[in-house]
Amino acid sequence: MSIERSERSERPTIVLCPGGPMLVRGEAVVQTQDGATHRTTRPVSAICRCGATSRAPWCDGTHKLLPKERRPD
């Protein structure tokens, strides 16, 4: 997965949440491994890091149901 700055926005900021998603503040384009691109539409977007979401690439909160050893660092 890669994150690129949208051409029409300021530089996004990224925060990694321990055991949870990556928070992207600002406009950005997220590219998944299959090449699909997803533009952020909210001031802060949560991107899944655990792989268990049903709304990829966005976090749907499923990481909270995973055992600690399956959550991202």
Joined together, the tokens standing for residue 57 give 């690439």
Task: Please work out the total of residues on this chain that contact ligand FES, with binding judged by CB under 6 A.
Answer: 12
String marking each residue 8-47 x if it binds ligand FES according to CB under 6 A: ------------xx--------------------------
Three-state DSSP state, 15 = strand
Q: How many whole angstroms separate alpha carbon 70 and alpha carbon 4?
A: 27
Kindly state the smallest distance separating residue 8's Cβ from ligand FES, in Å: 27
Under 8 Å between Cβ of 16 and 25: no
Binding site for ligand FES (CB under 6 A): 20-21, 48-50, 52-53, 59-63
